[in-house]
Amino acid sequence: MTGPTHRVFVYGTLKRGFPNHHYMTGATYVGDARTVDAYPLVVGGIWFTPYLIPEAGEGHRVKGEIWDVPALMMPALDQLESVHLPNGYRRSVIAVVLEGMGERTEAWAYFRERRHIAVIHTGAMDDYQDRRYKAAEDRDV
């Protein structure tokens, strides 16, 4: 990979095997990881979207994947996560530990404020495996 990259922690539909993983094309998978701090990971909204809520110390240490994402790809991820909207996700740096290696690293993660989630369908979980998510191309809107 050439050019600058950003380390990104993905925990939901961007993971391998999930509907939005195609947005990661061009990024390099680093490994599975878990957040150092606990956070609430929930499924909510009318499309059963996974949300990581920025309430450190609540919920669980969340399992996800670490990716090295070319800097040129970051605007597309930000667009997908609606960071430009007042009620969209916010990108923040968090500490994670790469599983199997024990290596601690920092990575961007996309958070959504609890007050911007209309309905929450689940309790806090440590690993997103829910399959009810409706991708944009499958929505009736």
Residues annotated as catalytic (active site), given as ranges: 81
Report DSSP letters for 65-105, one per residue. Answer: EEEEEEGGGHHHHHHHTTTTSTTS-EEEEEEEEETTT--EE
- Please give the structure tokens belonging to residue 94: 């968090």
Helix (H, G, I), strand (E, B) or coil at 118: coil
- Please give the structure tokens belonging to residue 123: 């309790």
Report the length, in residues, of the chain.
141
Q: Is 21 left (phi over 0), alpha (psi -120 to 50) or beta?
A: alpha
